[in-house]
Structure 1
Amino acid sequence: MSTLFIGEGNIGSAPEFQEFHADQDEPRRLLRLNVYFDNPISRNGSYEDRGGYWAPVEIWHREAEAWSQLYQKGMRVLVQGRTVRETWEDQEANPRVTFKIEARRIGILPNRLAKVSLMERSATTPETTSEADAEASKPARKRTPRS
């Protein structure tokens, strides 16, 4: 069972990166984060957390290793993906249920950021432009009045 998830929270520990090799295919890369999704309620100008919870967040992506260096403990993130219910047994054979989030996107929010810098584009990566940029670079069309 799974359902759509969108939540904002803080990364609670250093990210964990794993790489899984399979035959001659490109390895699959996994990034795991432990995120506290809070529920802040404003009262008289101050915030109180009501009903927040910790959840493991996993994202499979070829850039997971690089992202493991980017994401940091305490960083505010916006996670979009789906919740997945996992059942398991503890050491005493008691049934347990855990919910994890399989992320499609993890966005860094600007809270507590001191600086943002972009990497240079590599020469092997084709440059992409947005439709707006492409439209802006077209020569202007001459308009003729309609009669």
Structure 2
Amino acid sequence: MSTHFFGEGNIGSAPEFREFNNRNDEPRRLLRLNVYFDNPVPVKDGYEDRGGFWAPVEIWHREAEHWSTLYQKGMRVMVEGRLVKEEWADADENARVTFKIEARRVGILPYRVERVRLGGKSSAAADGDDHPN
């Protein structure tokens, strides 16, 4: 089961980059983020978080290694992708269910950002290919 997901949250730990061999083709690259998606509800003195949740966010893209240096713990992000249900059994053979987000886009929101420095165009952007591999 999967469904479209769109949410805003904070990265809770350092990004994790992994690379997987793909035979003779370019390796597949994965960036994992652990994100807390909050649910701020207005109260008398500001906001209160009600019903927020943690979710692993996976980004498969050839630029994942570079992006692992951009995303940081505590950074506010907007995530768009698919919410995917995963069923599995623990060590005691108890049925478990978890959810993860297979991200299509993860945008950095400007909260607490001190500066931005743009690099040159990547070859993917020059070719008009901004989609994940």
Same fold (TM over 0.5): yes
Structure 1 unaligned segments of length 5 or more: list them: 129-147
In the TM superposition, residue 43 of structure 1 has moved relative to its aligned partner by 1.4
Alignment of 1:98-109 (within 5 A): 98-109=98-109
Q: Distance between the aligned counterparts of 2:102 and 2:36, measured in 1?
A: 15
Q: Which has the higher contact order (CA 8 A, sep 6+)?
A: 2
In the TM superposition, residue 14 of structure 1 has moved relative to its aligned partner by 0.3
Q: Distance between the aligned counterparts of 2:32 and 2:127, measured in 1?
A: 30
Alignment of 1:1-147 (within 5 A): 1-121=1-121, 126=126
> Which residue of structure 1 lines up, in the alignment, with residue 131 of structure 2?
none
Higher strand share: 2
In the TM superposition, residue 66 of structure 1 has moved relative to its aligned partner by 0.2
> Which residue of structure 2 lines up, in the alignment, with residue 134 of structure 1?
none
Greater Rg by CA = 1
CA-atom RMSD in angstroms: 1.9
SS at match of 2:69: helix
- Residues 122/84 of structure 1: CA separation in 2 closer, same or farther (3 Å cut): closer
SS at match of 1:69: helix
Amino acid in structure 1 at the alignment position of 2:52: G
SS at match of 2:65: helix
- Residues 101/126 of structure 1: CA separation in 2 closer, same or farther (3 Å cut): closer
Aligned pair count reads 128
| Alpha-carbon displacement from aligned partner over 1:51-106 (angstroms, at most 9, x marks no partner) | 00000000100000000000000000000001000011111110000000000000
Q: Distance between the aligned counterparts of 2:127 and 2:27, measured in 1?
A: 26
Q: Distance between the aligned counterparts of 1:35 and 1:81, measured in 2?
A: 13
Q: Distance between the aligned counterparts of 2:81 and 2:45, measured in 1?
A: 32
